[in-house]
Structure 1
Amino acid sequence: MSAMIFNGLAMIFISVGSLFSLVSAIGLFRLPDVYTRAHAASKAATLGVMFILLGVMFFFIGKDHVFNPSLLLAVLFIFMTGPIGGHLITRSAYHNGVKYTDSTIRDDLKNTE
């Protein structure tokens, strides 16, 4: 009985993670500039990978009745490094003079640096 519950949780988490990854991939193709693309890649892809890893953890708990803490460490590592990497990419793009799109309304960093 509990294996069915864990398999159901695994399917839900992996499906949600796949949906986030799909949204991230669509964002990389559809968004207009490097700043919005980095946002899509860092936020949605991070959530996608985190949900998929949690689904894999639930799958193996249900299948083998083994808890693998290294999957939780991987989720924590991705949660910490994904958004930071996206931030650093956009910050370096800004310092190298990559232009915004025409629809950008304001530049918050213009007067601070």
Structure 2
Amino acid sequence: MKKRKKIPKFRSEKEADEFWSKHSPLDYPDEFKALKKPFEFDIDFLKKMAKEHKEKKKVVTLRMEESQILLAKIIANRLGDYYQSLIRTWVREGILRELEDHPEIEKDIRKKQLRLLRA
């Protein structure tokens, strides 16, 4: 019989954040109970939490051919997006493809305690 996992007690919010960045609530099914009625968050609270937990972006410089930038701008305009956001999405998708093609890379990611890009 498989031993049931218990969620540890956390001494700080940081400790809890670190734990949940490496674990899934799905690994602890017996630790959660179904709600009898729907739970509603205050919209201002949700906005505050989203802002606090949004991963910070870092500026990088990429040298790209002008034609690539122009094509990205045309595609982004057609999609109703900014070209920088579109390029960032393409980079993210490329990274995810590499992770799928080379699952052994995840060990290195976990050693460095980086969050995976998977949603």
**TM-score normalised to the size of structure 1?**
0.27
More helix by share: 1
Structure showing greater radius of gyration is 2
Q: Which has the higher contact order (CA 8 A, sep 6+)?
A: 1
**TM-score normalised to the size of structure 2?**
0.26
